Chain A
């Protein structure tokens, strides 16, 4: 079974540019999460999809971030325009629903975003 994949693995862009990150979850996983780790800080939640619907986007920093999950399969996270503070590692995770709620999450390798 293929794991969660993310593309690109690393992106270096200039302030003001646009970047789009992609995540392919494990097939059949309805739940898809985006997290971010800024250097020196803990991994922080950004948003949660259930199939194609946004369940919770309370962690999105501002309206420069736009996430989509068309068709309930892969997801994209677009940052436009990028700012210096957006630098960090963006992780995607997916999980299945179980009785009582979703539990363990399967993480992708992350996309390291550097904004210069």
Chain B
């Protein structure tokens, strides 16, 4: 069955450093992967989508990679700030047809210390 695995342990880093979060998936490579940010008491907020044929995608201080050989996506936040502290979720579409139904990982909580 399709699964998304994220490191459930919290990631603690110092302000200004680069945070790197890992998302591993099982089964066949999805057409795309999505990354969301979730703050306590709020719903997930979409950040980035990377397609299977894209190796890397950037948006401001965010960078996402997609490695179909390793079945892995890496999510980087450069020059991290305390405001980046949140839980980051990786998601893939369920099944081959793109109906929008998503499978989520448990998320990795990032804590950026000043």
A42 with B106: CB separation less than 8 A: yes
Q: How many residues of B are in contact with the other chain, CB < 8 A? A: 25
**How far apart are B12's CB and chain A's nearest CB, in angstroms?**
21
Interface segment out of the listed A13-21, A63-71, A75-83, A93-101: A93-101
Interface residues of B in 59-114 (CB under 8 A from A): 89, 93-94, 97-107
B99 with A110: CB separation less than 8 A: no
Residues of chain B within 8 A of A91, CB atoms compared:
43-44
Known: A33-B100, A48-B100, A101-B100. A42 touches B43 (CB 8 A): no
**How far apart are B71's CB and chain A's nearest CB, in angstroms?**
18
Of the candidates A59, A105, A109, the one whose C-beta lies within 8 Å of that of B100 is A105
B106 with A41: CB separation less than 8 A: yes
* Distance in angstroms between the alpha carbons of A83 and B4 in the assembled complex: 28
A109 with B43: CB separation less than 8 A: yes
The verdict on A102 contacting chain B, using a C-beta distance below 8 Å, is yes
Cβ-Cβ contact count across A and B, 8 Å cutoff: 64
**How far apart are B93's CB and chain A's nearest CB, in angstroms?**
8
Of the candidates B34, B41, B105, the one whose C-beta lies within 8 Å of that of A109 is B41
Known: A42-B4, A43-B89. A31 touches B100 (CB 8 A): yes
Known: A42-B106, A103-B32, A104-B34. A93 touches B43 (CB 8 A): yes
**How far apart are B105's CB and chain A's nearest CB, in angstroms?**
6
The residue on A at minimum CB distance from B6 is: A42
Chain A CB within 10 A, most for which of B46, B101, B102 = B101
B residues with a Cβ closer than 8 A to A are 4, 32, 34, 36, 41-46, 49, 89, 93-94, 97-107
Q: Which 8 A-B pairs have the closest CB atoms?
A: A101-B98, A107-B43, A102-B100, A104-B46, A43-B104, A42-B106, A107-B44, A42-B104
**24 A-B Cβ contacts within 8 A?**
A4-B43, A33-B102, A35-B102, A41-B106, A42-B4, A42-B104, A42-B105, A42-B107, A43-B104, A45-B94, A45-B101, A45-B102, A45-B103, A48-B101, A56-B99, A91-B43, A100-B98, A101-B98, A102-B100, A103-B49, A105-B44, A107-B36, A107-B43, A107-B45
